[in-house]
Amino acid sequence: MVADYFARDEITLQNPIELGSMEAIKELVKLGVGVGVLAPWIAQKELAEGSLVALPLGPRRLRRVWGVAHLKGRRLALAEETFAGLCESVAETLHLTTTGVAA
């Protein structure tokens, strides 16, 4: 997704790597190994304490789509409904657009 974002502006990343751990990305950036692309809420603590600095990625926002899926026609269990509701609540807190949860 990040490579595609830059490719749109004909920018090629040199030696990109992907890590599944946000903590690892933050620690490598702190060690000066490179830069990381993270959502601001992932690095909120480090930004507040000044151990990391946020820079704009470019003229456009990097957007991704998240979803909660379930088998069509299957009624959700209470725990599943609760989880979907929590996802919606957090999205609202982060001022994200939601399309609602269909049960």
Q: Round to whole Å and give the CA distance between 70 and 62.
A: 27
HSE of 18 in the Cβ direction (CA atoms, 13 Å)?
4
pLDDT at position 31: 95
What's the Cα-to-Cα distance from 3 to each of 9, 35, 85, 103, rounded to whole Å? 10, 14, 32, 36
- Do 41 and 9 fall within a single domain? yes
- Do 72 and 37 fall within a single domain? no
Considering the domain boundaries, does residue 86 fall inside one? Answer: yes
Residues spanned by the domain of 71? 66-103
Considering the domain boundaries, does residue 84 fall inside one? Answer: yes
Considering the domain boundaries, does residue 44 fall inside one? Answer: yes
Q: Round to whole Å and give the CA distance between 65 and 39.
A: 13
pLDDT at position 102: 47
**pTM of the shown model:** 0.62
- Do 71 and 42 fall within a single domain? no
Residue-wise pLDDT tens digits, 48-93: 999 999 998 888 888 877 788 888 999 999 999 999 889 888 888 8
Count structural domains, the chain: 2
What's the Cα-to-Cα distance from 11 to each of 19, 28, 58, rounded to whole Å? 21, 23, 11
Mean pLDDT of the chain, nearest integer: 86
Considering the domain boundaries, does residue 59 fall inside one? Answer: no
Considering the domain boundaries, does residue 61 fall inside one? Answer: no
